Amino acid sequence: MAGDSPERDPGKRLLVLGAGPAQLGLLAAARARELHVIAVDRDPSAPGFRYADRRAIVSTEDESGIERLASAERVEGLIAPGIDWPVAIAARVAERLSLPHAISSETAALSTSKLRQRERFAEAGVPQPRFEICSGPEEATAAAERIGFPCVIKAPDRQGQRGLTLVRSADEVAEAVRVALDAARTATLLVEEHVPGLEVTVNAFSSGGHFHPLTVTDRLTAPLPAFGVALTHAWPSELEPAQIGAVVEAAAAAAAAVGITEGPSYTQVLVGPDGPRVGELAARLGGGHDAELCRVALGVDLNGAALTAALGEELPPAKLAPVARMGGACVRFVVAPRGELREVAGIEDAFAQEGIRGIRIYRRPGHRFEDFRRGADRAGAILAVGDTRAEALERAAKAEAMIRFETDVEALV
């Protein structure tokens, strides 16, 4: 979305897990760096494949398939830049093949389980929502009564709002438990206190054990029923400087608790009446073009830094030095009407507008948009900058209004 990386590493062989919307920025940066990229995705139409030298139609969850591929392709590094579960696979495969890797498999396991993370945060005193671990509806009902309503019920090992429900009263518990257990990989679920208030994301990079906080963005979410789905990441945050300080401290403590000393981290922090609560930490780049936002806002190339770490190369400290480039920036996700996509119009006009730095459309004609419920239902994103945050937001909204998704809505019978 935001220009080429100036680094070159011609021919170095990198395996990238995922070629979907969340990996587009890193894949584009890898191409600009002239790496030899083998991209893995089970979806042959994944948009990121266009940046890859080799496309492997393999699931990003197929650990043995990925290990075989990494060996056969003699890769020098692996990275799962934008989705959670493969972060742990990449770390384990790197360990088995003695490849350099930013994080250990233990850190990766903690980072990809909301449940193990909660336990570790509790041990380490990282502020977080109150939670209980349950296995079925009776336990969950009792836990929800103790925690109070509204509460949140979620699958411990999924992302993208799969298995996630805001539960407003006791009669909604059973359905939320069913949804969570359906999505979960094991027969457990989390019941959490719902933390009201603002929510921010801390995009950071650790190097030599030092946590470098970069963009802190406000996560503006969709109305119900699309609970928790980000519609905009806006920078700078509207929190007071002291609150931002506390948020960054919480994110740094979370990263330390799971053992991140190298590489990117993405920490969601809920800012309630009692201060920051860590919602979740991921040992990767943000999946919502957060690295591209960071680049236009602060001039720090997080995609490049993540590539450097994945190849086991040293990162010069100057690469992480932020310089405010803009007064404001945002990523605004776009939503298409339900139905089968025929055509997307107006992108060039939208892109020509002042302050629009990138537009990504995630789907091709033929894709069927369902009702808008989760992150995966989003149709694309716009990266905009401005002298102020408000101006960036305004520009993104104006560009969005120029993009038209033409869909064939199925006749109701």
In the block, which residue shows the tokens 């945060």?
Answer: 121
Check residue 373 for interaction with ligand ATP (CB under 6 A).
Answer: no
Burial 38-64 (b: 16+ CB within 10 A, else e): bbbbeeeebbbbebbeebbebbbebbe
User: Which of 299, 256, 291 is CA-nearest to residue 103?
Assistant: 256
Residue 199 lies near Mg ion (rule: CB under 5 A): no
Closest CA to 308 of 20, 30, 3, 21: 30
**Is residue 234 at the binding interface for ligand ATP, with CB under 6 A as the rule?**
no
CB of 22 to Mg ion, least distance (A): 12
**Closest CB to Mg ion among 199 and 280?**
280
Using the 8-state DSSP alphabet, how is residue 290 labeled? H
Nearer residue to ligand ATP within complex by CB, 66 or 164: 164
Please say whether the beta carbons of 217 and 201 come within 8 A.
yes
21 forms part of the interface with ligand ATP (CB under 6 A): no
What strand order describes the sheet that includes 165-167? 131-134, 189-193, 151-154, 165-167
Q: At closest approach, how far in Å is the CB of 239 from Mg ion?
A: 20
CB of 18 vs ligand ATP, minimal distance in Å: 13
Cα-trace Rg, the chain: 20
CB under 6 A: which stretch of 11-19, 192-200, 241-249, 378-386 binds ligand ATP? 192-200
CB under 5 A: which stretch of 8-16, 29-37, 274-282, 339-347 binds Mg ion? 274-282
Q: With CB under 6 A as the contact rule, which of the stretches 41-49, 153-161, 252-260, 317-325 interacts with ligand ATP?
A: 153-161
Given the rule CB under 5 A, which of 31-39, 104-112, 155-163, 307-315 is the region that contacts Mg ion? 155-163
User: In 3-state terms, what secondary structure has residue 48?
Assistant: helix
User: Of the two residues 219 and 395, which places its CB atom closer to ligand ATP in the complex?
Assistant: 219
Beta partners for 381? 333, 360
Residue 158, interface with ligand ATP (CB under 6 A)?
A: yes
Size of the site for ligand ATP (CB under 6 A): 23
Detail the DSSP E strand segments found in 67-226: 77-79, 131-134, 151-154, 165-167, 189-193, 198-207, 210-221
262: contact with ligand ATP by CB under 6 A: no
141 near ligand ATP, rule: CB under 6 A: no
* Positions in 119-138 near ligand ATP (CB under 6 A): 129
> What is the distance between the alpha carbons of residues 407 and 379, in angstroms, rounded to a whole number?
12
**Out of ligand ATP, Mg ion, none, which partner does residue 19 contact, by CB within 5 to 8 A per kind?**
none
Q: Which of 280, 377, 391, 400 binds Mg ion (CB under 5 A)?
A: 280
CA distance 381 to 83: 17
Planar angle of CA 82, 175, 335, nearest 5 degrees: 40
Does residue number 270 form part of the binding site for ligand ATP (CB under 6 A)?
A: yes
228: partner contacted, choices Mg ion, ligand ATP, none (Cβ within 5-8 A by kind): ligand ATP
Alpha-carbon torsion (209, 210, 215, 221), positive or negative: positive
Give the interface segment with ligand ATP, choosing from 87-95, 154-162, 172-180, 390-398 (CB under 6 A): 154-162
Contact between 199 and ligand ATP (CB under 6 A)?
Answer: yes
Binding to ligand ATP by residue 192, rule CB under 6 A? yes
* Binding of ligand ATP by 267 (CB under 6 A): no
Residue 221, contacted partner among ligand ATP, Mg ion, none, CB below 5-8 A by kind: ligand ATP
Dig out the tokens for 320 from the structure.
């992480």
Report in angstroms how near the CB of residue 159 gets to Mg ion at its nearest: 5
> For 150, which DSSP code?
S
What is d(CA 313, CA 13) in angstroms, rounded to the nearest whole number?
13
The set of residues, in sequence order, having a beta carbon less than 8 Å from that of 127 and lying 6+ positions away, is 250, 275, 276, 277, 278
What string of DSSP letters covers 65-85? HHHHHHHHTT-SEEE--S-SH
- 194 near ligand ATP (CB under 6 A): yes
Residue 218 or 301 with smaller CB distance to ligand ATP: 218
Query: Binder to ligand ATP among 159, 207, 232, 308 (CB under 6 A)?
Result: 159
What is the rounded distance in angstroms from the CA atom of residue 297 to the CA atom of residue 282?
21
Confirm or reject binding of residue 375 to ligand ATP (CB under 6 A). yes
Q: Please report how close the Cβ of residue 353 comes to Mg ion at its closest, in angstroms.
A: 31
Q: Provide the binding-site residues for ligand ATP, judged by CB under 6 A.
A: 129, 152, 154, 158-162, 164, 192-195, 199, 219, 221, 227-228, 268, 270, 279-280, 375
Site for Mg ion, rule CB under 5 A: 159, 280
